[in-house]
Amino acid sequence: MRLFDGGKAPNPRRVRVFLAEKGIEVPLAPVDMGAMGHRAPEVADRNPLRRLPVLELDDGTVITESVAICRYFEEVRPAPPLFGTGAVGRAKVEEWQRRMELNLLMPVAHAFRHMHPAMKEWEVPQVAEWGEANKPKALDFLALLDRELAGREFAAGDAYSIADITGLIAVDFMKPARISVPEELANVRRWHAALAARPSAAA
């Protein structure tokens, strides 16, 4: 088994944080995304979308997409549960995982990919207006999240989950996207600080 890893990129990091929380060690195959290594045959032959991460199992099975890879490891090692427990718990984690991905991580990614000079050859065409339009979307969602976090410790309830991992990655990614968490969002700041203090955040 090996995990084709993209270093600081959000989705590869999301899987590494998940694995760290699970206490699972997987051999990494580092890919230099700055040198467009994700477009080389080693990755492209395994994932036609030429994106990372990519998990290759011992029997040659390939799994792509970060959450799909995390779900695989959730099945392999159920404890600690990071996709929720029970029907309601799993549904709430899925709900907040989707919200974090679609309403926070994606707008931040659009802002970064369409506005950062280093992404000029990656995002063709770059549309600066689209990047700028996504910044308030991310901030609007953070305001909603702040209200939700007034009544609980984690995104989907009282237990840490994949939704928190996605949220951590998204908020950290705001810095290179040149978006700041508003000072008044005290609950978001408390939540993010707690997540960032977990050993897994350094993965």
- 28 in helix, strand or coil? strand
Please give the pLDDT value at position 119: 87
The answer, yes or no, to whether residue 149 has pLDDT greater than 90, is: yes
Enter the pTM of the model.
Answer: 0.96
The answer, yes or no, to whether residue 123 has pLDDT greater than 90, is: no
154 DSSP assignment: B
The residue behind tokens 């995002």 is 123
Mean pLDDT of 130-159: 97
Residue 64 and residue 58 in contact, taking contact as beta carbons nearer than 8 Å: no
Q: How far apart are CA 95 and CA 163, in angstroms?
A: 9
CB atoms within 10 A of CB 178: 12
Q: Which residues contact 38 (CB under 8 A, 6 or more apart)?
A: 6, 31, 44, 50, 51, 52
* Mean pLDDT computed over every residue of the chain: 96
Please give the pLDDT value at position 134: 97
Mean pLDDT of 172-180: 96
- 5 in helix, strand or coil? strand
The answer, yes or no, to whether residue 69 has pLDDT greater than 90, is: yes
The domains located in the chain, with CATH, are: 2-76 (3.40.30.10), 86-202 (1.20.1050.10)
Mean pLDDT of 75-94: 98
